[in-house]
Amino acid sequence: MAIERVTVIGAGDMGHGIAELFAVSGYSVTLMDKFPQALERAQGRIAASLDKLAEKGRITKEQSEGAKSRIAYSSDMGKAVSAADLVVEAVPESVELKKAVLGEVSASAPAGAIFASNTSNIRISDLAEATDRPERTVGMHFFNPPMLMKLVEVIPGKKTDPAVVQGVVDACAKLGRTAVRVLKDSPGFIVNRINAADTLFFCLLLDRGVASPAEIDTFARGQGLPMGPYELLDFVGVDVGADSLAYFASALSPEYGRGTTFARMVKEGRLGKKADRGFYDWSSGRAEIPKVEATDKVSIMDIFALEINESVKLLEEGVGTPDDIEKGVVLGMNRPFGPISVAKDLSNAEVKAKLEELSAKYDCSLFAPARSIVEGKLRDAIEGRLAAAPGQRAAAASVEGAGPTRTEGAIRLERLEGGVARVVIARPRLNLINGEVLDGLDGIVTELWSDPGVRVVLVTGEGGVFSAGFEMTKFVSNAAGMMEFARKGERTMRRLSEIPKITIAVLKGYALGGGLELALSCDLRLATEDVELRFPELTRGLVPAWSGTQRLSRLVGLSRASSMILACESVRGRRAYEIGLVNQVVQAGDIDEQAVKYATGLAASEAPVAVMLAKKLLNKGTEVPTDVGLEMEEMAAGVLFGTEDLKEGISAFLGKRKPEFKGK
């Protein structure tokens, strides 16, 4: 779908910038506006911008002059669109005005033309109703200023032809822009839907007199943002923020209409930079922001929680993918990171508690946790697992605070209460380990590695057996293949041993060969009295090759390890405890149930950062000289001295209460 000739309707801030971008990228452009003075002003702004780009060396003088020559200016709609392949509507954000413009375009444009709206909020399906070809109508949302911002949201309406969407995506690539495809036509699309919750929040802060704009902006700049929210709103236009909230109130939820300050400012003519006054005085061309202390009444977590919440809602509604939401916020809001990456470092409980606090404090149900967060599925949402996928199963947990259960290959991950996750080998009767099990285990280790909501990981088997080892029925063609399979298993076991959580193997029935090696890769081992632990490899003509020969001797000494490996000695639970192979023997009852209680206690009492560093010292200490290990200890102690958890641990000890560690 070739696009060569582009018409941009509307010569304002966005329209003239979009026209300039297309012209610089080699397109033939007509900029149309019914007001001649608007066209004259736009022509001057485009020329000045192109000259400045050439002066800075971003484009050549020839490119600058070429772009100028490719732009025509017209106040006649019929002539402007008569030969267009793509018409981009960039008039003010009014449903009625945009529909009127698109209807007029539809009457004059060629049959094959694509109609694109630069709307920042309005449903494309609603706008497409004004045309005679909704299948060729699409959203093409640029960000201000178009010459600098690298994102374009591409939004199909309900009837848009996929080929039209692809044609616009291809055009974005030629413009040097990143196109984010919005999957479902919804008000605000991705970026502005997330930003709308922030906008309402900052309006309510002023409504409630929480702090002044300058105090809040000072706080925001202290967090590394280039502009505070009120300076940015002044720059964009207070009326834009007010109109946005009004549209969302009518199209999505009345809750968006709860704020009053912005609408009042619009009535007073305090529109921001365009009117020389808004929250600040702009008469000098820049915001005159009073020098004040940053407020302590707002936290960065307030903003993070709101943006994560809106992101989860978009994921629940199928509007975008986690990757596109992250990309959209980073590029569209000019941020170093987006809400998806932030959410990966927070627990479901933290986000849920903050949202409940904000909802109650501002009496705003819009801030209440999204369904997935209420159900403990934040991690599933941000990792794209809300819907069932091949090889996966997601179901809500039956208890508050617990997460979903899912299966990866032959491994099941269960998120339990109290910061505990359980990894289950699900291949009854014997839970044999093959390549599929290793792949599933490796994927789950990756998932849990940075999950702040999980502090202790239980590893067990389905039913009454931990694992009877490597599945011998699998065919390996040659020595190289066997070496690679051994390497794969060893690497998976090593990753499990290094995960910065406490890992506990729950030993029952049999733990043989590769199953025992899996158990040895965990930090702790709980066992029934009658469990059988054995390495039978030598009787099969093999050796333990998933780190068994190395880990066992370090745990029980060379002599006992030799008996178990060279003589294939079988060790039961009680004897395993006596020689230091297991840490605790469960005498009666359900060992899986008792293991959960034990793990929950550890999760509540152990500081996560201290656990991570202690594991590194234990795992690496045997690999280095003693003096190096002692240096590592000293450094770890120094790191922990600056943590909030250390302060909490000491405070809890002195106050004779249980600590509430945050992993910070």
- Active-site positions? 517, 537
Q: Which two tokens stand for residue 429?
A: 């009767």
Q: Which of 378, 382, 376 is nearest to 397 (CA)?
A: 376
What residue spans define the domains of the chain? 5-181, 191-298, 302-379, 390-599, 607-654
| Cross-strand bridge partners of residue 527 | 507, 585
Residue 544 DSSP one-character state: -
> Regarding beta strands 178-181 and 151-156, do their DSSP bridges make them parallel or antiparallel, or are they unpaired?
parallel
The domains spanning 191-298 and 302-379 adopt the same CATH topology: yes
Q: In what order do the strands lie in the sheet with 411-415?
A: 405-408, 411-415, 420-425, 456-461, 502-507, 524-528, 584-586
Rounded CA-CA distance 180/340 in Å is 15
Alpha-carbon gap, residue 50 to 44, rounded angstroms: 10
Q: What is the pLDDT of residue 635?
A: 85
Per-residue confidence at 36, pLDDT binned at 50, 70, 90?
very high
31, 16 contact by CB (below 8 A): yes
pLDDT digits (tens, 9 = 90+) for 122-162: 999 999 999 999 999 999 999 989 999 999 999 999 999 99
Tell me which DSSP letter residue 135 carries.
Answer: G
Contact call for residues 159 and 139 (beta carbons, < 8 A): no
pLDDT digits (tens, 9 = 90+) for 503-560: 999 999 999 999 999 999 999 999 999 999 999 989 888 888 888 898 999 899 999 9
In the CATH scheme, what is the homologous superfamily, with its name and number, of domain 191-298?
Answer: N-(1-d-carboxylethyl)-l-norvaline Dehydrogenase; domain 2 (1.10.1040.10)
Please report which confidence band the pLDDT of residue 472 belongs to, taking 50, 70 and 90 as the band edges: low
- Give the homologous superfamily in CATH for domain 5-181: NAD(P)-binding Rossmann-like Domain (3.40.50.720)
Q: Which residue has the tokens 């399906």?
A: 125
Alpha carbons within 13 angstroms on the beta-carbon side of residue 364 total 26
Distance of CA 372 to the CA centre of its chain: 14
Please determine, for residue 595, whether its predicted confidence score (pLDDT) is greater than 70.
Answer: yes
* Cα 393 from Cα 91, distance rounded (Å): 47
Question: Which band of pLDDT confidence, cut at 50, 70 and 90, is reported for residue 589?
Answer: confident
Instruction: Please check whether residue 469 is in contact with residue 425, taking contact to mean a CB–CB distance below 8 angstroms.
Output: no
C-alpha–C-alpha distance, residues 523 and 618, integer Å? 10
607-654 in CATH: which number? 1.10.12.10
| pLDDT tens per residue across span 264-298 | 999 999 999 999 999 999 999 999 999 999 999 99
Closest CA to 71 of 40, 43, 34: 43
Check whether 380 has a pLDDT greater than 80: yes
Fold assignment, 302-379: N-(1-d-carboxylethyl)-l-norvaline Dehydrogenase; domain 2 (1.10.1040)
Q: Which residue's structure tokens are 């290793």? A: 438
pTM of the model: 0.70
Please, are residues 233 and 279 in contact by the beta-carbon 8 Å criterion? yes
Q: Give CA–CA dist 79/82, Å, rounded.
A: 5
| Residue corresponding to tokens 């997330």 | 194
H or E stretch including 505?
strand 502-507
**Cβ neighbours, 10 Å, residue 484:** 12
If we measure between CA atoms, which residue out of 287, 274, 292 comes closest to residue 226? 287
Rounded Cα–Cα distance for residues 76 and 36 (Å) = 10
Buried b (16+ CB within 10 A) or exposed e, 448-470: beebbbbbbbbbbbbbebbbbbb
Given a cut of 90, whether residue 660 has pLDDT beyond it is: no
φ and ψ at residue 82, rounded to 5 degrees? -60, -25
- CATH architecture of the domain with range 390-599: Alpha-Beta Complex (3.90)
